[in-house]
Amino acid sequence: MRDNEMTTPEIRIAEAGTTGIRPLLEIRDLAITFKTSGGEVQAVRDAHLTIMPGETVAIVGESGSGKSTTALAAIGLLPSNGRVSGGQILLDGEDIAHAPEKRMIELRGNTIGMVPQDPMSNLNPVWKIGYQVRETLRANGQPNGPDDVAKVLSQAGLPDAHRRAGQYPHEFSGGMRQRALIAIGLSCQPRLLIADEPTSALDVTVQRQILDHLDTMTTELGTSVLLITHDLGLAAERADKVVVMYQGRVVEAGPSLELLRNPRHPYTKRLVESAPSLASRRIQAAKEQGVETADLLAPAAEPAAADNVLQIQDLRKVYKLRQGLGKSSDFAAVDGVSFDVKRGTTTAIVGESGSGKSTVAKMVLQLEKPTDGRILFDGVDTSVLKPADLFKFRRRVQPIFQDPYGSLDPMYNIYRTIEEPLRVHKIGDKASREKKVRELLDQVALPQSAMQRYPNELSGGQRQRVAIARALALDPEVIICDEAVSALDVLVQAQVLNLLADLQANLGLTYLFITHDLAVVRQIADHVCVMEKGRLVETGSTDDVFESPRQDYTKALLNAIPGAKLMLPPEVA
Amino acid sequence: MTSNNSHYVAPIEETPLLATDAVKTDQAPLSLWADAWRKLRRRPLFIISALLILALTVVALFPGLFTSVAPNEGCELANSEGGPTAGHPFGFTFQGCDIYSRVIHGTQASMSVGILSVLCVLVIGVTLGALAGYYGGWIDAVLARLGDIFFALPLILGALVITQLPLFRENKSVWTVVFVISLLAWPQMARITRGAVIEVRNSDFVTAARSLGVSKFGALVRHVLPNALAPIIVLATLELGVFIVAEATLSFLGIGLPQSIMSWGNDIAGAQASIRTRPEIMLFPAAALSITVLSFIMLGDAVRDALDPKSRQR
């Protein structure tokens, strides 16, 4: 504690000395306490950060690290059970940590603006976009005629702003909504903009456009930005300084590149090592080791050209869209997709939302019927499987879903969850099933004591391990991972990816990996299929696709990986 | 603009690295029901209502413990509208019956009508609602319209019509009242169940179970219904109180339980004769009815709070 307090002032003096400018926002020794049913909990301790005028500072941390709480305190919007219990928040020299609500209302909007996280829920669905922009302008005493509103919207990069202002939020796509929110956040030219995960709900290419635009706008206006993100790559790419938070404390802070190249705190080191957008190569150690053992155990692990466990041929899925009475139009969610999956390898299907990648997964899992085309599993057409054969097929192909909070039945404890597939397929007796469950828990590195717990007692990563154990219970050959790691924090994500790689090496599993995250693909996949709007635009080995993408769409996707262009010394990357 | 070149690192001993993603092992495992029970038993609302309901149940099952007067006996016109005397704390009705013993004996009828109606409504409403919500399509459309038809019938009007059918007019009993109430009240249960089932139907864990090889109906029984139970239980507890009132209403109107069965509704109806001279005769059965209904509704509220999924995120 002593040490900490001594370091910070030195930094401040150094800054003031070199520039002579007063920082716009300075947080000193901030502590935030929440009242919960279990007593007082300190969410943030000794947080400190400094933002100079015109500077962009990013706070990076996992969920629960206190990064959003710190930012909310700066704009005076802590939840009602939270309060600043120590330290100062200096805005241009004025301490606003305990400022009265009246003063905060004056500051919000025209001095501190905010772009919230989720563009889907942060616009009021019953008001037109234009009205919502006008509301902000009016609240801050700015001119708020239709032309002013249109100007604000067009500055945020919304074309045809006059017409757009008359539309409702549901008529906007996610990216457009986020632009509207940025327009609202910047409408009164605030001096500080707090952007809380502004793009984490958006596709990578849209994310890139939005962030580029945010950059241009804030540079033009000279706005300082406090960017909150879980993605170290994104933070390093967009911010001048990065502040790393962990367990409610600032563990490391410094200029972005310096911090990435030379992380000193063990947590930052860990983050840099696991950040998928920064790691350039696949999870090697486990993989190479695995190839050796797999070679010894089963010669088939070195796939022969013909050994395609899955062959997808000209797959099509057409949905009927209802358009009023009796009328309907066809919408091809998946259109003429063909690819093969070799046994013992990982094939990734990459695409943005709406590309049809999840529909492909559902059809492979026999949860949706293809409109056209064939899926061959081990050479057998799955569309003609009889119910009994389908039951056997289910044993050999298992899914892992995206949302670890939704894929486990909250009423089942972990033992029952993992045992269910064994019971359904009538494998073994009670004792042998229990033994198998214990083995499976070992395989996914969960303690056997977790057996009696319920999903709500486990973290996201642990639930995903349980889901993996359940998928493995029937000794399947193919596992379909539908965005299996997308909802997890970076470190946990790395752990789960390593686990999947180890399991593949030990059990000779084949993965079909559905994801929107190219960075993850590079870490785990052998082959990549890039999908756009229901069509397959590019396939190839991961190295080929990443090194020499042929299609413009693939190039755009690759360019959009945050932090992709950061030059890092090899020992870090 | 980057003026700050200093690189701050927190002292490592103050910010130790925790194992990524360790499993909590310090608390006992908690299922949804265990968690709800733990929350329930601390709430005064639940404790009070549960104690009242327990007492009422004992009274309903063993009325002999509380009064030595047998049902429909010991009425002497000489005692008509008499005040409280020793052994008869509440006094006498217009017919000269002991009010205290009538209130005690009336508990059984009210409670059994309430509980039996709720059970019937649960069976019909949950089955139809679950099928409609889970399978959707034409099953849903047909059941929804059927429910709407019954929904449109007001309870009293419907009961008046049904009880005038010869079959019912001749055989008035607890069962006819239960039948009438269940017939007119199931659509609400079906709607709640349908909504809850639709909400759970598309969860990933249901898809996961289906891709494990669980049959469609099996997934409904094993995964969907257990997860849709909370609103059903809450509604059932609340409706118990409502149905007890419905029975009293029907009995009051003379189309519910026959006079031979002691019930609070019949007693309230009988007390009308003395409402001007001795209004307190009506007070006792009415108070018993109010306390019973209030305790079930309080229980329903407490259960709803305990099962609220929003309060269940750690």
Residue-wise pLDDT tens digits, B21-47: 666 656 666 677 777 888 888 888 899
DSSP A377-397: ETTEEGGG--HHHHHHHHHHE
Burial B261-297 (b: 16+ CB within 10 A, else e): bbbbbbbbbbbebbeeebeebbebbbebbeebbebbb
With beta carbons under 8 A apart, name residues in chain B contacting A366: 211
Please say whether the dihedral angle defined by the alpha carbons of residues A573, B4, B9 and B15, taken in this order, is positive or negative. Answer: negative
With beta carbons under 8 A apart, name residues in chain B contacting A446: 23
Query: Which stretch of A7-11, A265-269, A276-280 has the lowest confidence by average pLDDT?
Result: A7-11
Chain A residue with Cα closest to B14: A1
- Asked if A399 and B227 come within 8 Å (Cβ–Cβ), the reply is no
The answer to whether B10 and A244 are in contact (CB under 8 A) is no
- Asked if A409 and B227 come within 8 Å (Cβ–Cβ), the reply is yes
Is this structure's pTM higher than 0.90? no
Q: Does pLDDT of B117 surpass 90?
A: yes
The pLDDT, as a whole number, for residue A120 is 74
Residue A535: beta bridge partners? A532
DSSP A461-520: HHHHHHHHHHHHTT--SEEEEESTTTTS-HHHHHHHHHHHHHHHHHH--EEEEEES-HHH
Length of chain B as a residue count: 314
pLDDT band for position B114 (50/70/90)?
Answer: very high
Helix (H) or strand (E) holding A253: strand A249-255
Q: Which tens digits make up the pLDDT trace of B304-313?
A: 888 776 554 4
Q: Does pLDDT of B15 surpass 80?
A: no
The mean per-residue pLDDT over the stretch A215-236 comes to 88
pLDDT band for position A306 (50/70/90)?
Answer: low
| DSSP state letter for B220 | I
Q: Give the largest CA-CA distance in chain A.
A: 79
Which residue has 């206006």 as its token pair? A221
Give the integer Cα–Cα distance in Å for B110 and B176: 14
- Asked if A367 and B15 come within 8 Å (Cβ–Cβ), the reply is no
- Asked if B213 and A391 come within 8 Å (Cβ–Cβ), the reply is yes
The pLDDT, as a whole number, for residue B126 is 95
- Asked if B11 and A4 come within 8 Å (Cβ–Cβ), the reply is yes
Residue A2: beta bridge partners? none
- Asked if A3 and B14 come within 8 Å (Cβ–Cβ), the reply is yes
Higher pLDDT, B311 or B193: B193
- Asked if B8 and A467 come within 8 Å (Cβ–Cβ), the reply is no
The mean per-residue pLDDT over the stretch A2-15 comes to 44
Report A:382-401 residues touching B (Cβ under 8 A). 391, 394-395, 397-399, 401
With beta carbons under 8 A apart, name residues in chain B contacting A462: 21, 23
Reported ipTM: the value is 0.74
| DSSP state letter for A82 | E
The pLDDT, as a whole number, for residue A282 is 54
Q: Which tens digits make up the pLDDT trace of A357-381?
A: 888 998 998 888 899 888 999 888 8
With beta carbons under 8 A apart, name residues in chain A contacting B11: 3-4
Give the integer Cα–Cα distance in Å for B57 and A528: 67
For A61, the 3-state DSSP assignment is coil
The Cα of B41 is separated from the nearest Cα of chain A by a number of Å equal to 16
Q: Does pLDDT of B81 surpass 80?
A: no
Which residue has 């209302």 as its token pair? A105
Give the integer Cα–Cα distance in Å for B105 and B79: 19
pLDDT band for position B20 (50/70/90)?
Answer: low
The answer to whether B256 and B268 are in contact (CB under 8 A) is no
Helix (H) or strand (E) holding A350: strand A346-350
With beta carbons under 8 A apart, name residues in chain B contacting A54: 1
Helix (H) or strand (E) holding A369: none
The Cα of A522 is separated from the nearest Cα of chain B by a number of Å equal to 23
- Asked if A247 and B9 come within 8 Å (Cβ–Cβ), the reply is no
Q: Does pLDDT of A383 surpass 70?
A: yes
